[in-house]
Structure formats: C-alpha cells, structure tokens
A and B are shown apart, each in its own frame.
Chain A
C-alpha cells in the first residue's frame, strides 16, 4: 500500500533553492500570529509555511516576489528588497468569509444566492459506517427525505426532495458529480464518501431550471476534494481508517415454540360451519371439534430462522489521500478500501476506489483540469429471502431432515419452499462493477471577465452479475431439476457528455452582473446480455462455464440495447445592485430522444429575486441582525417520465411447445402510447434567511409549492383494448415548509456547543388523474384488492382498505352484516354498501405513508480537542402498511404468526379480543384493512461520534503529524417506535424492483426487509 502511495505522489514533490534567507512574522490585523500561512516565491515552486508563532524563513533572491496567502485572508505580494526581514499583516477577506455555494454550472456566494440550496459538508458524514453517501444523508438537509430500503450492504436509499412529483417517471434526484451529470440511477457505491468536499441539494425552480428536463425531482451536486483552496506548500497525507461492528437492530418477532404449535393445533380443530338457529336464521358461528386430528403432537422441535441466517457484521474502511497545491497546479488523490460483511450470512460489499483531481494553471488565462474516479467493487448479494423467513418459513420446520438433508417444503402446506440456510450456504450470487468517471475541462479567459469553458466527460460502467444454484439445493432436488443452474447478466453502459459554457462576471460600481450561457449534448447507451444454463452435472465450475450445463434445451440467451440522447441550450443572468437586490433569470431548452417527432423539445424558464435587507442603511450598524434576506423564485422544470421506445407497438418474444418441441412465438402485449410529452413542474419558492447576534443564531425558512402537470400515467384501459397506455394526464401538488436552525449556543476558547435542527413538512395532493377516478398502485393482499391508490384530493399516495372492526363476538352481528363465511372470532369489517361481501367497494382511505414532518437534530460539543457529535433523526405522522398482517395476525395456518396472537380470541377463554381466532383463514380474512395500518413515527439516535484530537505538541508528535484524531461512532443506537415488524424505515417496493412500475411512489409498505444494523465504529484520522 505504501509503495502505491509513493507511486502516485512521486510526481508531486517539489524542492526549493535560494540565495539569501528572508525571515519574518505573519500576523493578522489584531496582531495575533498566523500559523500555516503559505509563503511562495512567485513563478517558482519554492514555498514554505509559517510556524505556530507566525514565523517563517525562506531562501529568496532580491527581486523575487513573495506571495503570502492563507485561506480567509487577502493575498499579499511583496517584492524582496535589500531587507532580510519582512513582516506581513494579512487582512481578512470579507468576501471570502462569505460562504460559497456550488450551484449548477458555477458557484455563488451565499449572499448573492437567489435560490433554495441546502449544503452538507463532507466532514459531517464521513465517519459513518456505510458504503453510500445517500445512506449518510438522512436528516441532514431540510426538504430532503431519505429512507433506507434495506440493510443489505451497498443497497440504495430512497431520496425524495420536496416530495414525489412523478407517478411513473422518476422521483430520484439527479446526481451531478463535479459538474458531470451522472444521472438519476447512478450507483452511489462508486463514490467514496471521504472524497466528498460538500453536497449541495438544489431544491427550487431557480436552481433546478438550469437542469431543465432533469431537474423536477431535485439535483444533488457532489463536489469532491481538491487542492484549490489550500495554500501553496508541501502536500498533506491523510489516513482515515475505521472498523465497525454491526449487530442486528430492531429484530422482527415471530411466534415460535409451543405457542406456535398450540396456535396451529387450535386452528386445525376449528370447524367454521355448523349452522345454529338464531331468530330462525341459520348462522355459522364456528366451533372446536376435539376429535379432529392435531397437526402436531408430542415434542416439536422449533427453529429460530433469523438466528440461523444472521451473524455479526463488520466493516473495515481505510482512506488514504494526498492533497496539496504548488505554484501552477493543485491536486487531490485518494485510495479507498471498503469491506463490509452484512448481518445476513454471506452478504457483503468489497470495494476499492481511486480518485485523482487535478487543476493546472497553464497561464493566467488558461486553465485545465481533470476529475477522475475509478471504482471496482464486488457486492455479495443477499442469498436469503428475508421477507420469506418473516412470512412463511415456519418455526416447526427444521433445517435438516432426519437423513441430514436440507428440508425443502413448508411442513404444513407441503409447498415447496427455499431453505434459508441452504440459500446462504449453497447459492452463489454476486455483482461485479467497474466504474470510471472521467471529466476534463479547459477554461480560457477570452477577454477580461469573459471565460469560455468546455468540458468533455464520460462514464463507463461495466456490470456483471453471476448466479449459480447448485443441484444440491433442496428446491432443485424436489423439483427434479437435474444438476445446477447458472446465470450471467452483464450491462455495459456508456455515457458521454459534452458541454460548452461561457461566463461573464463583471462588477461595475454598485452593480454586479453574472451571465452564463452554453450548450450541452449527452448520449447514454446501455447494452445488456443474459445467459442461463441448467443441468450442470457437477458444481465445480459454477457459472464460470455455462457450456457445461448439460441440457442444451435450457440454454437461454438474451440481449438488449437502449439509447437515450439529449441536447440542451442553457443560460442564466444574475444581476445585483449593491448586493441588496439580486435578480436571476434562468432558462434551459432540452431536446430528448424519448419523445416522438414534434414533441422532442421543451423550454424551462425561471426567475428569482433576493433582497438582502441587512445591506440596507437602517440595518447596516445593527448588532442584533447580521443577516436578513428574503428571496423568492418561480419557474418550470421538467421530467421525461418515460423510458425510450414507448410509442412503438412492440411484440414480446415468447415460446411455445408443440408436442414437446420448443418453438418461438411473439405476442402483442402492450400497445404503444402516442403523442407523449414532458411532465412539467411549476414551482414557487419563498425563503427567509436570518443571522442574529453575530451570526450565532442563524435561521432559514422556506415555503414551496410545486405543481406537476402533464403527468405521464399508465392508465388502465379496458381489457378489451389491452392492459394500459401511457398518457399525459393528471397533476399532483407538493406544498411544504422547511426550517433550518443553526446556533452556536456556547462559543469560547475552550468549549463550544453547536446545534443544527432541521424540520421539513411536506403535504402532497393528487389534483387530477385525467378521466380516472383513481389509480391503483399496489395490490398486496392475496385477493384483497388495491392497497395503495392515487385519488384526486388525497395525499400522494394513500393506503386503501376496509375498516377493521375487530372480531365477531355475537351471532347477531353476523346476521346483521349478512356476512359470508363469518363466525365468532373471525374478522369483521365495515360493509359500507351492506351487500354482505367485503370487497373494494367497501374500501376507503385508511392512511398515508407521508410523514407530517421529519428532520434531524445535531448537537456538537467541543472541549479542548474532544468533540462529541450527537445526531437524532425523526419522522412523525407517517403510516406503514404491514403487508403480512393478514397472515401474521389473522393466521393462515401455513404462514408465520406474530406474538400478538397470544392475546387472540379464544373460545371460552377470551371472547373479547379483537385479534381473530386461530383458524380464521377459512373466513373472509383477506381484505386490506385498517388492521394493516401502523404508526410509522420514530425518533432514532442515528449517530453519536466522540472524537479526540490528540494534542500533538504535548505528545511530541508534531514533528511527525499535522493532525491525529481518534474517534468512536455509534450508529442507530436507539429507536423509539411502535411499529411491530422491525424497523419503521420500510420501503418494500422500490423503483428498481421487478415488474413494479409504481415502486417509486409506493412507499411505506413493510414485509420484513433485510435488517438494519446497530454499529459501533472505532477509527483514526491522521494527517502528516
């Protein structure tokens, strides 16, 4: 490793030569010495830094120009004369002290910003034990909702910026890494968190319109570290290394042991029928027949399947980086090694990333630079169907049968079922990814204040997934599949982007003007292959040689090609007067290949204004109000909403058999959709920024209203005509407030305490669905009808179901309801139309996965180098639809039950319980209902980090290190939640999941996901 380090740093070593020694002291205006000031002889690579007392010594010749620079201070150039002592006083750079924010195609001072941008600094997130930056963003930025989907290593989180704005299209934000648009489905596993300098979340139309059709769901700009803002000098080497121990948190409880056996036996002896006469009407009330055989007798072994498949996870992470700046070049280069073993056995992620960022000043006017990121990782996919374990791998099933073979069936239903232990031991399933992002730019100052920049970038992503199911898997044996099954899938993705922009940046008198213009063209192609073979006589070669699958008839091959192109013209004008009044106009015209001729182009304009009231005379001398700004913006952004090739009537390739002979076939399945165009989001944004008491209290508040129109919807059509078509109909609205409060509660030399609090409240509403009264987006029940729906006037989306009234406790209730297949102790629902049947005509809105408000609270305490960072994440008011409730609480006999059934309705024992009796599956128990709905509110102590900057002088390490920090982080230590099925952060359907086109908006469904970890991280950071 060390060799490698020297290899890529070797080129960046510089040395100095001189004629005489100049010494001096650098101080700031108050007379305090300034350590670490860069002193460089202009035009050379010779440079030193001032020491702790501000003293420096450098070899220079008369006539040389010494450049003194230090971040936050104005640079000074002094020509060496006869004197050999040069003391320098550096003035604070008030302009620079003003925070700089990265925006699309440029940067802006916070003061001149007219749009809503949330900023997260890299150091706030870089010690978390996760592979992906999205998992570290939770609760950090106002207006950004991040929900974990799974605890599996390297799995994506769902990010929603100001709510969902598209139904079938994309709601994931657009990721832009150092100016290169990597798209909305970029695999964030390719980026090392430690490389990230800052993340900016663009939220309002003014910030987003510059990304036109790709901005509707927000944009996240990732800026990686560079040596740009460093003083000229020797490089700094940094090491950040941590180890994390992960335990399963918030384990799902499943009824096991004798309790379960009793439940099943009780169900087995239950007879639903037996009419009795009440008021002359025959009613089946149900009874227990003790003569019926018991399902289980005697000693029944029970298995804890979650124990069987889970283990202690760990993460080992090391970052090595070097950064620095010489006269004409600055650089940042890093290597990251990340290795995670997941909580479920045989799942994990092992990754190496390399990054090199370089900027050259070829001349005063000409700059060149490059950003290069290469990552290679292997993701060991989870082999175990965890939600299967939760729902139907029974405790009464053993891992092995009497002969020592893996069991392969559900002992009650007899259905073939995977064996979770066999799964993790025998299955092979992993992904290999190589990803290269390279982006090169050249910038030339054509004339004063007018710069031309052209950049060319490319992303190459090479994905391969290997799977192998050996013949020894019980389901293969029981299915009489001879031998093993192997499958290989590959995707080659190529993304080319060319952008040329000019900027004109001019200050004249009280006026400032910033003009941006440019054009861009992007082409994204992906090529996929799929190969499968079966009948491997032995399991040695696995997927490595599919030709060894002995059964040629089971060879399956497939390939695909997909292409998308975009061209754009973009522009932005920002005008400011005395920094008080700022106006910005933004526009982008996009052309996209996915629409038909005539519909390919769209224009997205926006306008925004800001008023810095603190710059007004009446506030100029205020000691209370340091910053007061109001801003507003309005504009349009777009979303393409659809995949390519939607307008074609396409045949699906199929097969058929005639007398055992395989023949190919085609079927026209889904007709093409004609005349489609963009989804457009109209967005209003109002913001207030306040800084009080020397900026010790800073407060930002925002209000937004986003209306998305021309939604591209798959509309169900009569089955006479087909299944469904896409149409531009409908609109949705998101309204919300965002708050950010940042306070320095205590701030003195020895002790400081900072608090950051974010709160977001988003209200969504479906305004219009065209001719549709509703759209069903999920049907999770067995025969239970829709469970999530979009309905105009309601939130986006809502859960849908019947009202659960508890159990039938009196035969008269059954008579009154004219209930079919009901009995005492069976579930009772409100039969709204009183037809005796509970179906979707009786359903109504029963909840919504939308939280009322959510956010985070961060407290940071610092005392003499000891830093304690405590971060809470919270979410209130969201509901969760627990998919397994119908089976786990109402029982189905061959599926797992929840420990809550211990309090069930029991004949002669507890006839008041509202948890249905054992044997309920013989009743009408499938409707989706309020019984499925649970409160998803939670408060989570997400991270606690305790770190210590070792005082180098005291430890006499200052000759070796520039910084040495050790830290301990606890992740997900504590959770308050009433949810019964494990962790309340759930998302059973994600946009990527198979055949699930509404995955992107079907949030809040739980079926038992890969469990989340509670982690203890210990790490060290050192700079030298």
Chain B
C-alpha cells in the first residue's frame, strides 16, 4: 500500500513537471498580434481602414481638434461666448492648449501607416491591385499627418519605420524641410499607386495630388504646386458644381458626396462605434439658449416668448437648435457690407435671420445642419479636406506668383463664375493686386473650411490680420498674439517625456 501511494505520488510529480514548460505557455486566442497579419488582401484593407478610423479621433477631425488651430485665432471664426479662450485668444503656452492630443493622434497615424507600409510593400501574399492601393493609402495618410505636424510645430520628430519604443520616444526634432521633401516624394509614389476612382471615402490619386499641391504651395514651390493643380483640373473626374450651395449640402446622409470633393473624412449618424459621428457641426449650430434675439420678449402681448415661438416653428420642420455655438463668424465677415453686393456666396455662407427670426449671432450656414435627426454629437456631415475650388484658387495663386496674373485669371474666374450674378471676372490687376485680392477671395470662398489660419501664416500676415480684425468683447487675441504664435510649442507633456526635443531649439519655437 505504502509503495503504491509513493509510486502514484512520484508519477504525479513527474507528470506535472514534465508538462510544465508547455503548461506555462501563453495561450493567446482572442486577439491578433501584429506579427501574424497582412497575410491576405482583406487583412491589408483592415489595417488601412484603421488609418481612416484614426482621422475620427476627437483631437483630429471629429470635434474641434485640428480646427482649434486651423480656423480659430484667425479672421473668420470665433466663439459665441467666453469659451475656448486659451486658443482663440493666443494664451497658448507649454501645457496650455499646446495641442498635445492632436500631436498624439497624428503620430498614431504615422505609426500605423509606417507599420503597414513595412508589411505591405513587396508583400507577395497580396494581389497587386490591393497591394498598390493600400500602400498608396498608407503613403497618403502618413504625408497628411506630417503635413499637419510640420505646419503646426515646424521641426518635429521624424521616422519612416517603427523603431524600438525607446528610440521613437527619444527622437530629436528633424528639420521641417527634410520631412516635407520626403513626403512630397512619397505622395508622388502614392499618386502612381492609387486608383483614379476608388470607393467613396477612400483616398484616390487626386487626393495625393491635392495634398502634394498644398505642400508645394505652402513651401512656395510655385511651379510644382501649379503642375499638381493642373493635373487635377485637367485629368481628374472632379468638377466644380454649378451651384455654390450644393457644394455644402450634406443634409441627406445617403447622398453626401459630390464631384467637387476630392477627399473627405466620412462621418455617420447613429453609427455602431462611438466616434463614427461628428460633433463639429454642433460647433456651428446655435444653442437655443442664445437664440433668437430678444428671446424672452413676448411679441404682440402673447403668452409665449420669442424663443418658445422659434422652437415651435423649428419643430414643425423637424429642426432644433441643440448646438454649442462655439464657431460663429467674426463681425466683419458676418457683415453683408464687407462682401461684394453681387456675391451669391454670402447667403450660402452666413445666416443671421432664420424662419423670420433675427438671430442673436450670425452663424455659418454652410457648416450648420439643424435637422433634428441627430441632436448633439450625432451628426453625419463629412469633413471636406480638399475640394476642387480650392485647387483652382491654389493654381491661380501659384501662377500669379510664378508669372504674374495674366494666365492666373482663368483659374480664379472659374471659381467666381458661379459665385456672382452678374459675373464679375477679374482682369487688369497687377501681380500685387491679384495677390491681395486672392487673400480675400480665399476667405469668401473657403472660410470655416479648415485652411484660413494656415493661409494667413504662410502669407506672413497672421499677426497683422488678427490684430486688425474686430473680435467680440470677450475675446482679445490682438492684445496677446506674438510673432512666435505662428507655431505651437512642442507640448509640455512631450518635453517631460523626451527632453531631447529641446536639443535643436532650446527656446521651443520661442515659447521659452
């Protein structure tokens, strides 16, 4: 008996410990590790779909992420009350509105795109068509990320492949020019790889060309910018819509795309994941609390206040005012007198009276949507990053800078054709007059579309513009803005984690 039990014990022990190594192996069953991926076309698409998903981050396009630094603090948009003051009023400092979240999301895009590029490039397991398309999309997305990074911060850490974490986390800032040269080359590759007419929502070769044109334009490389614009104008399937209002009409979620749009971030109402919708529209929508003017008056001695009457009228057409009202036109832009009386774009762009009620604030009609199908933060409006009218104006600008106005009129007048009744084409301007007129033309055509502040910066007129434009009483950016505000400080959080970021510029873009 004793022996038997001893035997059993010994065997149990041996069994357990012989099985030990196997017994202690990690059994990963429910997740995908990156080293077991990119084995087929579907997987390549999954990875690139993830890049588009990152664009939904609140710190990029879903809310006032990039918009904080692309539209605020310029001469077109301001908040309707004392909010977002750190940004709009140029109280930006290390640790204060320094864009930390936006920085992080852009690098997330860079990392994911780089991981996919390394795994898709030359991957024989993928069909050639899919390999080219997904690789092109990755190049485009990474270039888009570096476009914003270098615009907002200048020199930034730069990598093209996923280095070990310690190395990535210790990178110094690389020269802006070097990064942008590489990105232009990548975009040329992307242009060759991408299809001309892809599924709606994905990047085409024209998106790559448009981004490349922007890079060149911002860098003053007029000939290259012009060439890219011409390529798009001449060869792409995109066309200017005849009706300016139709360009912005996204009220029908099933029919949001139009021929003028070259690249958009696609948002959806009632989506199955949290960030599928956009709340950017809410910034442009009024809140009923503010509206209409004299809201507590009871007209004609009635029992209902003006705001109750407005609400009732809105409800009849299934609308509401549930926005934040954070992004309203600045007074000068909202003033009809500052627009050409024949400019049809004013009524499409600005609204100051609605359903017969005078509003307390003007709003951007082009960016609002009062339809009650989607109260706060559940909007479907796509964020249009590139549209063809912008390309025309870019071509005009590049041509004017390159050769003077004579060959540039044709581009600007194509845009003005639909904007005026009767037509008011430009002619007979000097190069300088053309240049200055174009400053305004871009404002009237493209205001509140995410380009204005960068335009002012690249033209070198941000400071004077901000100082001279009229702001609402609770804002005073003109008192605060300094020359160094054309760039953001490297975020405080990043400096704490990686002191090497101060190696090349101890002043941190002039903020210290």
Contacts and interface: CB of A to CB of B under 8 A. Distances in A.
Interface in B101-144: 103-104, 107-108, 111-112, 115
Contact of A655 (B53, B201, B253, B296): B53
A563 interface: yes
Interface in B61-78: none
Given A722-B111, A725-B165, A659 B54 contact: no
A547 interface: no
A647, A669, A721 interface centre (most CB from chain B within 10 Å): A721
Given A659-B266, A667-B54, A651 B199 contact: no
A488 to B, nearest CB: 17
Contacts of A655: 53, 271-273, 276
A34 to B, nearest CB: 40
B316 interface: no
Contacts of A805: none
A667 B497 CA distance: 23
A662 to B, nearest CB: 7
A414 B287 contact: yes
B199 A658 contact: yes
B201 A666 contact: no
Interface string A777-796: 00000000100000000000
B373 interface: yes
A205 to B, nearest CB: 25
Given A519-B13, A553-B272, A658-B201, A835 B93 contact: yes
B16, B24, B474 interface centre (most CB from chain A within 10 Å): B24
Contacts of A454: 9, 12
Contacts of A593: 23-27
Nearest to B93: A837
Contacts of A725: 165
B32 A720 contact: no
B177 to A, nearest CB: 19
B53 A654 contact: yes
Interface in B142-157: 157
Interface string A644-687: 11011111011111111011111111010000000000000000
B26 A591 contact: no
A560 B287 contact: no
Contact of A480 (B33, B171, B373): B373
Interface stretch (B43-51, B336-344, B436-444): B43-51
A554 B82 contact: no
B239 interface: no
Contacts of A452: 5, 9
Interface in A565-583: 565-567
Nearest to B156: A720
A415 B2 CA distance: 77
A293 B306 CA distance: 13
B30 A660 contact: no
Interface string A813-854: 000000011000000000000010101110000000000000
A725 B287 CA distance: 42
Contacts of A479: 375, 378
B256 to A, nearest CB: 7
B270 A481 contact: yes
B197 interface: no
Interface stretch (A119-127, A711-719, A872-880): A711-719
A922 interface: yes
Given A415-B376, A663-B49, A667-B50, A657 B288 contact: no
Interface string B353-383: 0000000000000000000111110100000
A144 to B, nearest CB: 32
Contact of B322 (A412, A414, A553, A722): A414
Contacts of A519: 13, 16-17
A721 B50 contact: no
B253 A660 contact: yes
A719 B107 contact: yes
A718 B494 contact: yes
Interface string A252-268: 00000000000000000
Interface in B284-342: 287-289, 295-296, 322
Given A666-B50, A717-B497, A839-B96, A654 B273 contact: yes
A977 B202 CA distance: 61
Contact of B50 (A556, A649, A654): A654
A655 B274 CA distance: 10
A481 B82 CA distance: 33
A521 B27 CA distance: 16
A647 B28 CA distance: 11
B468 interface: no
Interface residues of B, number: 90
A447 B375 contact: no
B494 A719 contact: yes
Contact of A521 (B23, B30, B31): B23
B272 A837 contact: no
A562 interface: yes
A650 B52 contact: no
A696 interface: no
Contact of A645 (B26, B45, B56, B202): B26
A594 interface: yes
A565 B157 CA distance: 42
B20, B49, B376, B474 interface centre (most CB from chain A within 10 Å): B49
Contacts of B93: 835, 837, 839
A293 B296 contact: yes
B273 A718 contact: no
Contacts of A523: 23
B46 A665 contact: yes
Given A480-B373, A553-B272, A668-B34, A592 B24 contact: yes
Contact of B82 (A645, A647, A840, A922): A922
Nearest to B165: A721
A718 B498 contact: yes
Contacts of A446: 2, 5-6
A412 B290 CA distance: 11
Interface in A124-140: none
A659 B201 contact: yes
B31 A651 contact: yes
A769 to B, nearest CB: 13
Contacts of A649: 33-35
A367 interface: no
Nearest to A446: B2
B40 interface: no
Given A273-B474, A521-B16, A668 B115 contact: yes
A599 B45 CA distance: 37
A347 B171 CA distance: 53
Given A273-B474, A666-B46, A500 B9 contact: yes
Contacts of B374: 480
A559 interface: yes
B248 interface: no
Contact of A837 (B96, B107, B289, B372): B96
A628 to B, nearest CB: 42
Contacts of B37: 651, 666
Given A447-B2, A839-B96, A841-B95, A718 B272 contact: no
Contacts of B168: 717-718, 720-722
11 contacts: A272-B474, A414-B322, A521-B23, A556-B272, A651-B47, A651-B50, A653-B32, A665-B50, A718-B168, A718-B171, A720-B157
Instruction: Report the 10 A-B pairs with minimum CB-CB distance, sorted nearest first.
Output: A658-B201, A665-B49, A719-B104, A721-B168, A659-B200, A721-B169, A667-B50, A718-B169, A649-B34, A665-B50
Given A651-B50, A659-B257, 11 more contacts: A565-B24, A567-B17, A567-B20, A651-B32, A655-B53, A657-B268, A660-B254, A668-B50, A720-B494, A835-B93, A837-B96
Interface of A: 272-273, 293, 412-416, 444, 446-447, 452, 454, 478-481, 498, 500, 519, 521, 523, 553-554, 556, 559-563, 565-567, 591-594, 600, 644-645, 647-651, 653-660, 662-669, 671, 716-723, 725, 773, 785, 820-821, 835, 837, 839-841, 922
